[in-house]
Structure 1
């Protein structure tokens, strides 16, 4: 399910009594307030405040439902402590069952909510700033594609131009430690190969159009050397949300996202 559809499903969720725990937790290791795993303290204290409130209200049904979800949330975050990004967003309920977890690479303001519906406003704001988007990195020898949502890479593939086959071959997901190949200097490309390259750029433009529909991209961003970025952008049916004149082909996914969305 795409993130936009999931958000819509969350907005439509309701229960008769308060039964939904919404957690926004800042886990950004680069935040001075998160030194030495301070997120653990914030998670514990935030959940404790809700527990104290429910204890004072003396509603046994809500207390039981909350305590079950509290344990589940604490276990989820603790089990993934070594893979935390900038933030964690969790929506949880027991009846009807709801379990929606998002580890995001965007800033998150810590907050906790116990309501009869998921508190999605902050999530919607983050989604608006970092929607599902395709980031396209064209170069002379390849086109690298990042499928992203909420500032995180969902999938990645690289299409390499093979001058012998005169076609594109899908290279697959790139290892972060791997050095990309196929970058050939413009002045070294023979006229025949240059024509083929331009023709296959057009073919890649059609592939991008299909991926946009399949992946539910709200935006497409293109980044590369000026002439290549402009040439590739012209093959797209819709004008890209941004066209950045910078070669990021050898950059790590998170660095690419930072350059594109936080420029």
Structure 2
């Protein structure tokens, strides 16, 4: 998905004309919400969509009614497609001519809101864009570094680096590990002891060498915020060596945690 802050800027310039107004919907679909245990979102959706239609049927602008009915059908179709894979909320901003269609499931709480006006209603979307812009989370643990690319509190992509001790360089990890050990230093306790010795002697140089790669990732992915997660001194070394500003360093080893738990810890 495009950076949510750029989407907001685009939507700020949208204007409906005459009968071609802009539909805005924020729908709470959080099934963990006590008020949603019986699928109440379906009732809110039905009532929200029908209210405008009843109002327009009482008016004299048949073209506006037709436009709204087109949007209503498209919204219902979209909700039917995602019904089995809901998140905490759904945002839809649309025009009947198809020039505007923003429809996203989001992993944040929304207040139910339905609007049919000349301009989209963006207050809730702006709040989310300010709290959850494009963000990078860098997880570090000895010879591994994992990047989580997030947008609007959702994972967009991940990249993992692994240190090849034999070649003394960081490489992007490709698929599952093959037969040889990560460190290339044998096996068992000897492997661990040898790696630990080399780690203690070389960790600053190793993390300094990956910092430019991480800066480039941050630039290419247009991260507005960056968090580093890992135990000291690794995380602190990366914070010092990277040129990009780091919003926070979380001194916790979470590289093996699920991505949803990491986002919950870091972003919420």
TM-score, structure 2 as length reference = 0.87
Instruction: Report the Cα distance in structure 2 between the residues aligned to 1:173 and 1:92, rounded to whole angstroms.
Output: 40
1:208 matched to 2:214? The reply is yes
Of 87, 94, 97, the match for 2:96: 94
Contact 1:142 1:182 in 2 (8 A): no
Aligned counterpart, 2:267: 261
Superimposed CA distance per residue, residues 33-75 of structure 1 (whole angstroms, 9 cap, x where no aligned partner): 1113221111111111121222233321111111101110111
Aligned to 1:177: none
Q: 1:162 to 1:89 in 2, by over 3 A?
A: same
Measured after TM superposition, the shift of residue 92 of structure 1 is 0.8
2:224 aligned partner: 218
Q: 1:182 to 1:49 in 2, by over 3 A?
A: farther
Contact 1:140-1:186 within 8 A present in 2 as well: no
Aligned with 1:103: secondary structure?
strand
Q: Is the 8 A contact 1:146 1:157 kept in 2?
A: yes
**Aligned 8 A contact 1:89 1:102 in 2:** yes
In the alignment, is the contact (CA less than 8 A) between 1:156 and 1:173 conserved in 2? no
- Give the alignment's Cα RMSD to 1 decimal: 2.4
| Residue 187 to residue 232, structure 1, CA distance change in 2 (3 Å) | farther
Point out the structure with max Rg over C-alpha: 2
| Secondary structure at the counterpart of residue 216 of structure 1 | coil
Other structure's SS at 1:159 match? strand
Return closer, same or farther for 1:104/1:195 CA change in 2, 3 Å cut-off. Answer: farther
CA contact (8 A) 2:141 2:231 kept: yes
Matched with 1:199 is 205
1:127 pairs with 2:125:
no
> CA 1:30/1:226 → structure 2, altered by over 3 Å: closer, same or farther?
farther
The equivalent of 2:195 in structure 1 is 189
Does structure 2 retain, via aligned residues, the 8 Å contact 1:161–1:197? no
Per the normalisation by structure 1, the TM-score is: 0.89
CA positional deviation for 1:152: 0.6
Which runs of no fewer than 5 residues in structure 2 stay unpaired? 184-188
SS at match of 1:82: helix
Q: The residue matched to 2:249 in structure 1 has which SS? A: strand
CA distance in 2, matches of 1:111, 1:52: 17
Contact 2:3 2:151 in 1 (8 A): no
Matched residue, 1:178: none
Would the aligned equivalents of 1:15 and 1:96 in 2 still touch at CA under 8 Å? Answer: no
Deviation at 1:193, TM superposition (A): 4.5
Q: Specify the alignment match of 2:5 in structure 1.
A: 4
Aligned to 2:21: 19
1:202 Cα deviation (Å)? 2.1
